[in-house]
Amino acid sequence: METLLLDPDAVEESAQLPAVVEAVEAAFAAYAGGDAQMPAKSYIDLPQYDGDFRSMPAYLATDEWDGAGIKWVNSHPGNPEDHGLPTVMGTMIYSDPETAVPLAIMDGTTLTRKRTGAAAAVATDHLAVEDATSLGLVGAGVQARAQLAAIATVRDIETVVVADKDPDAVADFRAAVADSYDVRAGSIADAVGCDVVSTTTPVREPIVPREAVGDNTHINAMGADAEGKHELADGILLDAKLVIDDHAQCTHSGEINVPYAAGTLGDEDIHAELGAVVIGEASGRTEADGITVFDSTGLAIQDVASAHVVYEYASEHDVGTAMELVGTDL
């Protein structure tokens, strides 16, 4: 058996977004239905290098396929300045659950970007108004582009309002997508008045005020991925139909972690996990709903689902480099 090696370009080509969104939705359904295993993320702290490693394993089974894998990812904030390297880098191993053969080793950084956008798309499809045409982006980085690309597969986005304190980042974003969308630079208040909003900043003090949010806006809160991070004013979370990806992760390091730890927000304020909405155990958007919020921390099941899509496409279209990575002789 050979293993496919897939670099960033190969993952970019193979991660066809409609298929990734569909697979990520299936992963949430499998998790809610008890057809997935996802041990807690484990950490290796390296204070001497101002960094850490994280391992994210998972297995899931859908009606059509099953898959297993593990993502090995780091966070080294000093990398750009000290070594000319990205802060975060990831490697994904995707394996055959039946034989344990490693089917592919792929760039996990590109994969993470794609599956994060796909999770927001799944949430948007279930929680945003059906006729949404405007998308507000708070943060104009690489993930903002991923959010737009994925959300545009589930809603007919025409207008994009992007807010970022860095005007160069806004200019780069507009240049990248202006051929396909009516893109406008605006304030945070302008952005969060749109039908759908995605926030992708690393802030630790809320920057989105309650009074600026549209009456029927859906917000994908994507930026908080560590204890203490917090983008949205508490009033937004308390007034919204609040859906999370995973209770343990969100209460520890998601958008809700700060008000949850303070007792400002409790379990009674959480509507459901997204998987329960996907399988119909909990409601998505109803006519009675105003603001909706999805708190996303990123789950290993999303990585496995996206890796499945990448591997299948790469195998069928001769993408990547095949090699005999492990000895399989008896």
- Predicted confidence at residue 15, as pLDDT, reads 98
pLDDT band for position 328 (cuts 50, 70, 90):
confident
Mean pLDDT of 105-130: 98
Q: What is the pTM (predicted TM-score) of this model? A: 0.95
Mean pLDDT of 55-61: 98
Sign of CA dihedral 82, 86, 88, 91: negative
Q: Which of 113, 106, 104, 126 is nearest to 25 (CA)?
A: 126
Q: Are 198 and 137 in contact (CB under 8 A)?
A: yes
- Predicted confidence at residue 255, as pLDDT, reads 97
pLDDT band for position 221 (cuts 50, 70, 90):
very high
What percentage of residues in the chain have a pLDDT greater than 70?
A: 100
Mean pLDDT of 87-91: 93
Mean pLDDT of 179-184: 96
Q: Are 104 and 6 in contact (CB under 8 A)?
A: yes
- Predicted confidence at residue 329, as pLDDT, reads 73
- Predicted confidence at residue 8, as pLDDT, reads 98
What percentage of residues in the chain have a pLDDT greater than 90?
A: 95
DSSP string, 115-175: HHHHHHHHHHHHHS-TT--EEEEE--SHHHHHHHHHHTTTS---EEEEE-S-HHHHHHHHH
d(CA 88, CA 77): 8
Is residue 327 predicted with pLDDT exceeding 90? no
Active site residues: 71
What mean pLDDT is reported for the chain?
A: 96
Structure tokens at 132: 């949404």
- Predicted confidence at residue 178, as pLDDT, reads 92
pLDDT band for position 226 (cuts 50, 70, 90):
confident
d(CA 300, CA 5): 20
